[in-house]
Amino acid sequence: MFMRLWSIHPEYLDAKGLLGLWREALLAQKVLMGETKGYTEHPQLDRFKNHPLTICAIGSYLKYVYEEGRRRGYGLDKDKIIYTFPVEINVTSGQIIYEFEHLKKKLKTRDQEKYREISRVEVVKPHPLFRVIEGPKEVWEK
């Protein structure tokens, strides 16, 4: 399994993608808290590990995923989020573009309606935790 902690705004994800992100981000929280042995070296976790408030960073990430799920009427459990504190993590513009194109490819076969909806997007918003800086996609991307 490849963990994907999207840098793009959760509003772009279809139902399957958003609920999958919720589960993967909860797993990431467990990994970062040392509560599981798997995925400890997963490269997408480095962004959180390198933040001085690691658990607050993943908690804030989860908070925004929770809010998008709630907006859509999904029954996500906010109590599963350990800590939240408003923090920011940098993400490159190249990573945002890469992820958005990657998502569009997934949605083209998985959810045509969501694909058509996001295909009209001209300026891609990042997940609210991230602040966009200029740069290429991350080296850990395939």
**Which tens digits make up the pLDDT trace of 28-71?**
999 999 998 878 788 889 999 999 999 999 999 999 999 999 99
The whole-number pLDDT of residue 83 equals: 87
Q: By C-alpha distance, which of 124, 127, 55, 64 is closest to 91?
A: 127
**From CA 86, how far away is CA 119, in angstroms rounded?**
30
Q: Report which of 10, 14, 24 is spatially closest to residue 64, judged by C-alpha positions.
A: 10
* Tens of pLDDT, residues 66-99: 999 999 999 999 999 998 888 999 999 999 999 9
Which pLDDT score is estimated for 2? 60
pLDDT at residue 1, as a whole number: 46
Count the Cβ atoms, other than its own, within 10 Å of residue 58. 30
How does DSSP classify residue 28? Answer: H
Q: How far apart are CA 89 and CA 131, in angstroms?
A: 6
Residue 3: pLDDT over 80? no
- Whether the per-residue pLDDT at 137 is higher than 70: the answer is yes
- Amino acid of residue 28: A
Sign of the dihedral through C-alpha 56, 61, 67, 69: negative
How much is the average pLDDT of 20-31?
A: 95
Assign 57 to helix, strand or coil. helix
Which pLDDT belongs to residue 84? 81
